[in-house]
Amino acid sequence: MSDFYSAVYKAVKQIPKGKVTTYGRIAAYLGCPKMSRQVGWALHANPEFMEIPCHRVVNRFGRLANAFAFGGAEVQKELLQAEGVKVTDDTVDLSVYGFDYLNESIYFDTTESGRL
């Protein structure tokens, strides 16, 4: 597994239940703002679905992932709703449920390939 994928998985683990973030916000947080597509590839290859909550990642408009790796947008919607996230027309309101690493107080271990 690449260092970038490992960093993506660590970042996704920091998203609290009931919140979502975007591929682009993860990429920017990792210091690679033009690599949102690669964040998506990493999540599609998620080796630990139960440990890495990739269902909490949506696109820049708050839309669910059509190619959600573990069952499609309907499964992603169900998982988010179970955490209290309101999903309307396969879209999450980022102004309500959005998690932004740069504006949240979180713990992120940077000792082993945290930020790139």
Angle between helices 3-13 and 36-44 (to 10 degrees): 80
pLDDT at position 1: 64
Mean pLDDT of the 86-112 span? 76
Which residue is catalytic, options 7, 54, 85, 87? Answer: 54
- List pLDDT tens digits, range 72-84: 889 999 999 999 9
Would you place residue 112 in the very low, low, confident or very high pLDDT band (cuts 50, 70, 90)?
A: very low
Q: Give the integer Cα–Cα distance in Å for 23 and 33.
A: 10
Bridge partner residues of 108 (DSSP)? none
Domains, in order of start, for the chain = 3-103 (1.10.10.10)
Alpha helices in 30-113 (DSSP H): 36-44, 72-82, 94-97
pLDDT at position 71: 77
Would you place residue 100 in the very low, low, confident or very high pLDDT band (cuts 50, 70, 90)?
A: confident
Is residue 107 over pLDDT 50?
no
Is residue 114 over pLDDT 60?
no
Is residue 116 over pLDDT 50?
no
pLDDT at position 106: 45
User: Mean of the per-residue pLDDT values for the chain?
Assistant: 86
What is the DSSP code (8-state) at residue 104?
S
32 is known as an active-site residue: no
